[in-house]
Structure 1
Amino acid sequence: MHIQRPLISTIQALNHWPRFRLRLFFEGIAVGTISGSIISFFRWALEYTTHWRETIYDMLPNAGIIANLIWFLVLLLAAFLLYSISQYEPMASGSGIPQVKGVILGRIRMRWLRILWVKLIGGIVGIGLGLSLGREGPSIQIGAVTAQGLSRLLGRLRMEERYLITAGASAGLAAAFNAPLAGVMFALEELHRNFSGVVLVPAMMAALMATIVSRIAFGSASIFHFGSLPPFPMNYLWLIVVLSIINGMAGNIFNKGLLGVRSFYELPVFFHPYIKIAFALVTAGVLGYCLPQVLGGGNELINHLSEMPLSISLFGLLLVGKFLFTLISYGCGVPGGFFLPMLVIGALTGGVLGIVFIELNLIPAIYLSDIIVISMAAFFAASVQAPVTGTILIMEMTSSYDHLLVLCIASMVALVSARLCKGEPIYDSLLYRLPEFKKTNIPDNERRNVVELTVESGSSVDGKSVGSISWPVHTVLVDIKRGDKQILPDQEVHLRAGDYIYLLTDHIGAAENVRNMVEQQMYNNYKN
């Protein structure tokens, strides 16, 4: 196999590991600062347009028929704008998280500058006009492409670029939700699926710097405001188990809805992509009159849940409305994620179940807010199947640090419930459906790369010598790292669980085969 100069540079970086990690430390700071600034502007623009939209819907009922028709004309023109930019850069459509996962896996390419401005404009217009989409998916992709742009400007290696993209994604979530730990954990648990120090350091620094920038702009208050949540009594823990089992099934229904809404938009009436977007925006316009609470991401709706009357019909209406409108909004294909709407649906599910528990005299009404918060973590864990991220995220977003134990229990029970129902992680399912992922049309001169993998306990290579392993063709083992030690990949060296191995490959199929061999437990669980 002929080794090109960039790969020689990559191997040299592996041989100078402490210097390489120190460079990633400072690059993580740069990524977090730049990403945090861009995403803070994105947050500000969304808050401004949301306030502007709410003011308009307050005025429209008394503004006369001409003003109302003009407003719907504005929605149709906005639909044309969203259609145009989505056609210009399809990789900016939707959440953006599956695309980032594909880039980290080496299966997809992103044109960073085009995606950056299309994601910003599309997210501001679509979410600002009321589509039930969240800022977190766009923020994660914005952070990732910002990191990619910095990597390209600095002429960094492709292996290093993937680390920086992970760091940018971490910064994106941290800045969007003012949750640095959740940003790091999401990047490691869901995106990179690697907890090595070389991934952790830039991701942590990027998340911290992005959070600092975000807090300078918006303050340090948590995203969700529930006041002082009372400690949850352990004698009601069995209710949390029931709640989490139901959320596990509800999360599967939500995932199936997101994956199945494509069939709805394949109806003959949606014969052109513009009609899909126009339908979603006109639906938002109608809901602005009769059910404005379901418009936008929904964080303000969560903040007011504890103040609403304990009415199953009210909570149920909001739940059904938010669920259906989120499917309509996401399915039309404009830039915007479902991360925040998913949390809102989880909160409303918890609200409905909490009211049922209260009316059955199973729990006092004072614990309704606790149930709503716990339900968000459970619903997230069921849909995304990243329980650690869900626990930390909800804990940071609600400042409910005393609820760590019950949040962990709820997330794990919901995860087990979802898997027993044969649910799959939503972002993996969406990734496998991407046309770009299926094509894998990466040029030959960009396929040759060094891939970092972690040897999992119980995998087919754990405990075996390098020479006894049947490595796929097009693959060469170039380095092994065990803790702080660097081990030359001699034929007699035995791999151990926890080793980080670096392989040179020029074939996507070979990379996937090695990934299955080395990280067998992790990846087989997701693909079965």
Structure 2
Amino acid sequence: METTNRHNTYNTLFHWHSFRLKLVFEGIAVGILAGLLVVLYRFALERAMVLLQGIYGTLSARPQFIPVWLGVLLIIGVILGKLTKYEPMAGGSGIPQVEGMLLRKLKMNWWKVIVVKFFGGILAIGSGLSLGREGPSVQLGAAAGQGFSKMLKRVKLEEKYLITSGASAGLAAAFNAPLAGVMFALEEVHKNFSPLVLLSSLAAALSADYISSGFFGLKPVFNLKSLSVLPLKSYLYIVVLGALIGVLGVLFNKSILKTQLLYSKLKIIPKELWVIIPLMISVVLGFILPQVLGGGHDLIVGLLTGDEFPLAFLFVLLLVKFLFTMISYGSGAPGGIFLPLLSIGALIGGIYGLAVVNLFNMDSNYINSFIVLAMAGYFTAVVRAPITGIILITEMTGSFNHLLSLAIVSVTAYIVADLLGSKPIYESLLERILQKQGNNDAAVGDKKHKLILEFAVCMGSMVDGKQVRDIKLPSHCLMVAVRRGEREIIPNGDTVLCAGDYLIVLTNDDREAKINDSFTKLCGSCEVQK
């Protein structure tokens, strides 16, 4: 038997049964690499934001230097345009690009992405654009995982898990939130709870969090000493907040896509210079409303630690932060929407909390609770990953007393957003990228190479409860195993598939994208179907 080709059928199947434990150790290695990279990125951004505050302090005292700063921002805008033109995969959030790559609909050059995303993100966010570090951190981690795989010449099957592990590690290091990093990989990136994804991502996320904690300490990102627990009799307010957040989350998603469309119709300015528009706007905001610059970390900290803003001022902050986030992200600059949307959610929660306190005489100590709940709900309404949102906010605040209320507001926001027909933002952004490239069904791979894919059977899907012989499988693939719990079944025509099974499918590398789409329809989605 010929076994020299590492990607042939024999070696691919043999590798599937032998690499599970190995994947954990490789996940640890990827987590360390991604953790170091993201820690350096996070540190550079923090220094850049401190420098930015100093610059605006100097400009306020010496306004004659404002033209110099405008010139610097013009140069930064040109540099950012050239960087994203050099490596288009490094523009925007990075999370849709990672998902597209795992679906084999996009290709990514790992070292180019690391260089462009790293320095581009520092220039864009450090200049004051309303963008977050988490999307770039996820993509940087995924690129580190891909680079690890390429340098050690791992097979495609293994590379896919290492990329996911890197993405999980990136989010864990960005927010000191390892469990959220794992859940994000399962719920958003892979959209199923595969044990292989769980093991490798958990190993990577814990390693990255260890590295991050060594640099930034063990304290949560938002280190709250105390957070009042809302009494059960006030839970009706939480449901109302969840419904409001759901509606506003739909508005966020539609506005992001609409802003991108408006930029695409802007023919006067070349695409690579679009970023100059938000950079120029940031100068005005830097003088009159500096709180909206950057991702919004300091804004959230201010809201949670007792900065007393009048209700009218909070409305102004909310409106300007929302619009500036749209303008910043729509320009295609390297940066994410994770942290900006959390800051917008925090502002909504602050406004809602103040309104409840003033109208219904509730204790003002509960305002912080509404801020935290709104962050989780808004994340869920926009990203449509409720479990990730609950765990992320829990880890970021260090409070485990709000799990019930976080779950209620997140589920309510999810249901409202779903009823309004809103799609998850990263899914919509990926579709937009594929439409621009005109390659929704593009084959990315080598037809000589074989690949193992894994699909979870969801309850009520087209294959749930059916025999294999009754299922019309797509061409150019073979179902080689069905994993049911700890058992692995070799399927035949009489094998009945059940919800919770994992189908192990062998296919050609260049057919992965189409096979993915076909089996996703057959096995169903873990999201609510319409």
Normalized against structure 2, the TM-score is what?
0.95
User: Do the aligned residues in 2 keep the contact of 1:465 with 1:495 (CA within 8 Å)?
Assistant: yes
Report whether the alignment pairs 1:339 with 2:344: no
1:372 aligns to what? 371
Change (3 A) 1:327 1:420: same
Equivalent-residue separation in structure 2 for 1:132 and 1:511 (angstroms): 35
Please show how residues 46-65 of structure 1 align to structure 2 within 5 Å. 46-65=45-64
Change (3 A) 1:217 1:285: same
Query: Does the residue aligned with 1:402 lie in a helix, a strand or coil?
Result: coil
Please show how residues 220-239 of structure 1 align to structure 2 within 5 Å. 220-239=218-237
CA shift, 1:108, in A, is 1.4
Which 5+ residue runs of structure 2 have no aligned equivalent? Answer: none
1:248 aligns to what? 246
1:101 aligns to what? 99
Equivalent-residue separation in structure 2 for 1:466 and 1:12 (angstroms): 23
1:6 aligns to what? 7
User: Do the aligned residues in 1 keep the contact of 2:81 with 2:273 (CA within 8 Å)?
Assistant: no
User: Do the aligned residues in 2 keep the contact of 1:505 with 1:511 (CA within 8 Å)?
Assistant: no
Query: Does the residue aligned with 2:44 lie in a helix, a strand or coil?
Result: helix
CA shift, 1:384, in A, is 0.6
Query: Does the residue aligned with 1:462 lie in a helix, a strand or coil?
Result: coil
- How many correspondences in the alignment? 520
Equivalent-residue separation in structure 2 for 1:456 and 1:263 (angstroms): 35
Report whether the alignment pairs 1:463 with 2:465: yes
**CA deviation string 1:190-219 (max 9, x = no partner):** 001121211111100100000000000111
User: Do the aligned residues in 2 keep the contact of 1:298 with 1:344 (CA within 8 Å)?
Assistant: yes
**CA deviation string 1:456-506 (max 9, x = no partner):** 122121222222221122221122222222211222222222111111234
**CA deviation string 1:284-310 (max 9, x = no partner):** 112111111000011111011142325
Equivalent-residue separation in structure 2 for 1:301 and 1:513 (angstroms): 44
CA shift, 1:523, in A, is 6.3
User: Do the aligned residues in 2 keep the contact of 1:258 with 1:330 (CA within 8 Å)?
Assistant: yes
Q: Which AA in structure 1 matches 2:499?
A: A
Equivalent-residue separation in structure 1 for 2:516 and 2:467 (angstroms): 20
2:19 aligns to what? 20
Equivalent position to 1:498, from 497, 500, 509: 500
Query: Does the residue aligned with 2:7 lie in a helix, a strand or coil?
Result: helix
User: Do the aligned residues in 1 keep the contact of 2:104 with 2:443 (CA within 8 Å)?
Assistant: no
Equivalent-residue separation in structure 2 for 1:342 and 1:290 (angstroms): 21
Q: Which AA in structure 1 matches 2:476?
A: H
Q: Which AA in structure 1 matches 2:62?
A: A
User: Do the aligned residues in 1 keep the contact of 2:12 with 2:450 (CA within 8 Å)?
Assistant: no
Equivalent-residue separation in structure 2 for 1:393 and 1:339 (angstroms): 11
Equivalent-residue separation in structure 2 for 1:147 and 1:235 (angstroms): 48
Equivalent position to 1:512, from 513, 517, 529: 517
Equivalent-residue separation in structure 2 for 1:456 and 1:364 (angstroms): 44
Equivalent-residue separation in structure 2 for 1:444 and 1:168 (angstroms): 24
Equivalent-residue separation in structure 2 for 1:456 and 1:426 (angstroms): 22
1:200 aligns to what? 198
2:477 aligns to what? 475
Q: Which AA in structure 2 matches 1:6?
A: H
**CA deviation string 1:160-203 (max 9, x = no partner):** 11111111111010000000110100110000112121111110
2:291 aligns to what? 293
CA shift, 1:268, in A, is 4.1
Report whether the alignment pairs 1:129 with 2:127: yes
Equivalent-residue separation in structure 2 for 1:162 and 1:362 (angstroms): 53
User: Do the aligned residues in 2 keep the contact of 1:346 with 1:379 (CA within 8 Å)?
Assistant: yes
1:74 aligns to what? 72
Equivalent-residue separation in structure 1 for 2:464 and 2:271 (angstroms): 49
Please show how residues 355-370 of structure 1 align to structure 2 within 5 Å. 355-370=354-369
Report whether the alignment pairs 1:451 with 2:453: yes
Equivalent position to 1:304, from 295, 302, 305: 302
CA shift, 1:363, in A, is 1.9
Equivalent position to 2:184, from 183, 186, 189: 186
Equivalent-residue separation in structure 2 for 1:511 and 1:127 (angstroms): 35
Which 5+ residue runs of structure 1 have no aligned equivalent? Answer: none
Q: What value does the CA root-mean-square deviation take over the aligned residues?
A: 1.8
Report whether the alignment pairs 1:161 with 2:159: yes
Equivalent-residue separation in structure 2 for 1:298 and 1:89 (angstroms): 27
1:275 aligns to what? 273
Report whether the alignment pairs 1:119 with 2:117: yes
Query: Does the residue aligned with 2:452 lie in a helix, a strand or coil?
Result: strand
Q: Which AA in structure 1 matches 2:388?
A: T
User: Do the aligned residues in 2 keep the contact of 1:112 with 1:145 (CA within 8 Å)?
Assistant: yes
Report whether the alignment pairs 1:215 with 2:213: yes
User: Do the aligned residues in 2 keep the contact of 1:354 with 1:372 (CA within 8 Å)?
Assistant: yes
Equivalent-residue separation in structure 2 for 1:446 and 1:38 (angstroms): 34
1:408 aligns to what? 407
Query: Does the residue aligned with 2:495 lie in a helix, a strand or coil?
Result: coil
The answer to which of 141-150 and 457-466 deviates more is 457-466
User: Do the aligned residues in 2 keep the contact of 1:36 with 1:210 (CA within 8 Å)?
Assistant: yes
Equivalent-residue separation in structure 2 for 1:274 and 1:154 (angstroms): 35
CA shift, 1:400, in A, is 1.6
Equivalent-residue separation in structure 2 for 1:226 and 1:313 (angstroms): 26
User: Do the aligned residues in 2 keep the contact of 1:310 with 1:355 (CA within 8 Å)?
Assistant: no
User: Do the aligned residues in 1 keep the contact of 2:84 with 2:272 (CA within 8 Å)?
Assistant: no
Normalized against structure 1, the TM-score is what?
0.95
User: Do the aligned residues in 1 keep the contact of 2:177 with 2:392 (CA within 8 Å)?
Assistant: yes
CA shift, 1:270, in A, is 4.3
Equivalent position to 1:260, from 240, 258, 277: 258
CA shift, 1:235, in A, is 0.9
2:444 aligns to what? 442
Query: Does the residue aligned with 1:360 lie in a helix, a strand or coil?
Result: helix
